[in-house]
Amino acid sequence: FLCGLATVATATAQSTVEPPDCGPFEVYLVNGEVHPTDIDNDGFSIGDRLSIQYDIVDADENVLGQNFAASTFVGQTDDGVYNLIGDVHHVYDNGTLHYSIVYQLADPVSPSRHATMRRFDYPVIGGSGAFAGVSGMATASTDQSGRRMISFDISCDGD
């Protein structure tokens, strides 16, 4: 019971970190959960779905929000890499950011599922709260220590 209280206190303390605002900023995705749905029970194929949830943290590992993604398998390369399209939602205390993605996975369910992590640029397509009227780009990459990083270069109405 005391350990549970310490966890809640830590989570509450972390959530008091100022969330990002319009302009350029970087966040990291940690503690991910991946939920594949094999619709035909025949192995991953076109039309199957992948749901993903990550904590969003800053460079110091302070929790800023949650990342939710829903993707659909749209094909596979000759060397077995899966092609997906989807939508991502970053949920912060001050609003949400939405961007569309096209990406590849080597294996949808393994911890090393990402095909060689390259830099991917995605259009930011909407937002709410502090991100109302948002436009710009989200860039997915890895930092030098291997953490998954999303760099935003966005502006909102009036910026």
Residue 6 φ/ψ, nearest 5 degrees = -65, -40
User: Tens-digit pLDDT profile for the chain (159 aa)?
Assistant: 333 333 333 333 344 467 787 889 999 999 888 888 888 888 778 899 989 999 999 999 999 999 999 999 998 888 888 888 999 999 999 999 999 998 877 765 554 555 455 668 899 999 999 899 999 999 988 888 888 899 999 998 755
Residue 4 φ/ψ, nearest 5 degrees = -60, -40
Residue 87 φ/ψ, nearest 5 degrees = -125, 145
3-class DSSP assignment, residue 27: strand
Question: Quick one: which H or E segment has residue 8?
Answer: helix 2-15
Strand partners, 106: none
